[in-house]
A and B are shown apart, each in its own frame.
Chain A
Amino acid sequence: MKADPKGVLTGEHYLDGDHACTEGALAAGCRFFAGYPITPSTEVAERFSARIPHVGGIFIQMEDELGSMAAVVGASWGGKKSMTVTSGPGFSLMMENIGLAAMMETPCVIVNVQRGGPSTGLPTMVGQSDMMQARWGSHGDYEIIAISPASPQEAFDYSIKCFNLAEKYRVPVMFMMDECVGHMTEKVVIPNPDQIDVEPRRLTKKSPKDYLPYEPNEDLVPDMIVAGDGYRIHSTGLTHDERGYPAMKPEVQEKLVHRLVDKISKNADKIIELEEDQTDDADVIVMAYGITSRVTMPAIFKARKKGIKVGFIKMITVWPFPEKRVRELAKKVKAFVMPEINLGQVALELERVVSGKAGVHHIPHAGGWVHDPEDIYKVIVEAAK
């Protein structure tokens, strides 16, 4: 399906990442926004509120982040593509209902323009330290999808991708931006609507008589209905059977929780997007995401000039983690290097996957600023030894 022209601001713009994210959401067909303003994500909400009267849809400034996330879940079941945006403490407040969205298999997008933490931390300054919270911040076992952009153009492009994946896998997708990308202004090219692919809601083709709300398809994802369209529907945060009714039995729990995890992990090859550069004959591979993937490049160029064989993997998707690809490469390379603006959240996952087959060098940064490329260069040199 192609994008609805009403939401697409075709042309060349000079936009910051937050505004570009909103335009991506509108292009993807998002027509419901509930949120509570918080720096550095407020501009996403601000632009949505200004644009939505022209596009047609709903913007609500909620009483808090708990309510915001609940409204997003409700609106999605009402048939609208829905989103919220937050940062720092607001992300923590959304966690309970993000778990509800995961359990009810509700397509929705949560944008987190990351700032330094914990707690109130650095409201106006960059961080990437919510990556593990994005993955498992709510209680229970579940998997989500997380994507990080490195520029305003990517904030537009991958915002669309977030909505498409949310619909396809009926899962909350975390758009893990950061303050630097959010507040950075660059050229953003918005294509014509007929050049933008948009994933529609996967609505059932079955009759109301035959429809079971949680009966999975081959890809492990069940088809949806729109509440009020004449189908009997029951959806709950309690462990439920294929009818959607509470069934608190270990065997139902076993089946349901495995499917919630498997629908992401078994489709990982289709979900994961990486940009690889010179990884085939590399001695050292640097992996990075978000703004850090950009700041890493000068270090890689410098190392290559000095004759070090450095490969680079820019992670567009961070979760699910590219386990398969990393395992392949771990057999061939000396070491992996991962800079990130936290104390090693994704790097620890990298270490787990590499599992001693190669070296893993973290380059932690507590936040407030991006890495100095020189610091990354030094670690590459060390890793190549």
Chain B
Amino acid sequence: MARTEIRVSGFGGQGVILCGYLIGKSAALKAGKQATLNQSFGPEARGSACSAQVIVSDEKILYPYLTQPDILICMSQEAYAKFEPELKKDGLLLVDEDLVKDAKSRDKIKLYKIPATRFAEEIGRKIVLNIVMLGFFTAVSGLLDKEAVRSTVETSVPKGTEELNLKAFEKGFAYGSELLKSAPTAGKKKKAAVPA
């Protein structure tokens, strides 16, 4: 795996940055990879478009920004409209199906949908939708070992919320694993090399 570029997108308040942070942290501290996280958000704290950009690589990451994402996670309609066009032709697209209504797969993009917010509400708190999404990403992308991400969630979330967050993570992971069984190629696809 030379270099995998991931964009996590949605609106402020959904935990978009934290989701990207946990992907990067799992990769860098638990999976022995290089991981660079950048983030961008509007001037408002909540409600504005925001995105986290993570680069995961086995080699030193030199150019620190995304060139063309291999994986796009969308948690809002606005983010989908804005970022879907830049996704690689054979990329991986993950959406919250209740928040992105018209998600379609173009070219050879593999599209996976999850009702992440709804699951989060069922678990008990809507704010863990980002962790549901993280579990889903972990299962579907196959980029990082489940345990690397799970243990990062456990040690990174606020004290007292570990159980809730791990439940959210497991829910997303289980849903993703189920989906993969009906389309088993997605998690094992070879990543195209991107120049450093």
| Chain A interfacial positions (CB closer than 8 Å to B) | 12-14, 16, 180, 183-187, 291, 294-295, 297-298, 301-302, 369-370, 373
Contacting residues of chain B (5-34) with chain A, CB-CB under 8 angstroms: 21, 24-25, 28-29, 34
Query: Smallest distance from the beta carbon of A186 to chain B beta carbons, Å?
Result: 5
Q: Contact at A370–B65, with CB atoms within 8 Å?
A: yes
> What is the interface size of chain B, counting residues whose CB is below 8 A from a CB of the partner?
18
Q: Contact at B195–A298, with CB atoms within 8 Å?
A: yes
Q: Which residues of A contact B64 (CB under 8 A)?
A: 180, 184, 291, 294-295, 370
Q: Contact at B21–A185, with CB atoms within 8 Å?
A: yes
Q: A14-B37, A294-B63 are in contact. List 7 more A-B contacts (CB 8 A).
A: A14-B24, A14-B25, A14-B28, A180-B38, A185-B37, A298-B62, A373-B62
Q: Which residues of A contact B95 (CB under 8 A)?
A: none
Number of inter-chain CB pairs below 8 Å = 55
Q: Contact at A183–B39, with CB atoms within 8 Å?
A: yes
Q: Measured between alpha carbons, how far is A369 from B38 in the docked complex, in Å?
A: 13
Q: Which residues of B contact A16 (CB under 8 A)?
A: 37
Q: Measured between alpha carbons, how far is A185 from B61 in the docked complex, in Å?
A: 12
Main secondary structure of the interface of A (DSSP, over half): mixed
Q: Is B36 an interface residue (CB 8 A)?
A: yes
Q: Which residues of A contact B196 (CB under 8 A)?
A: 297-298, 301
Q: Which residues of A contact B34 (CB under 8 A)?
A: 186-187
30 contacts between A and B (CB under 8 A): A12-B29, A13-B29, A14-B21, A14-B24, A14-B29, A180-B64, A183-B39, A184-B36, A184-B38, A185-B21, A185-B36, A185-B37, A186-B24, A186-B28, A186-B35, A186-B36, A186-B61, A187-B28, A187-B34, A294-B62, A294-B64, A295-B62, A295-B63, A295-B64, A297-B196, A298-B62, A298-B63, A298-B195, A301-B196, A302-B195
Q: Measured between alpha carbons, how far is A14 from B29 in the docked complex, in Å?
A: 7
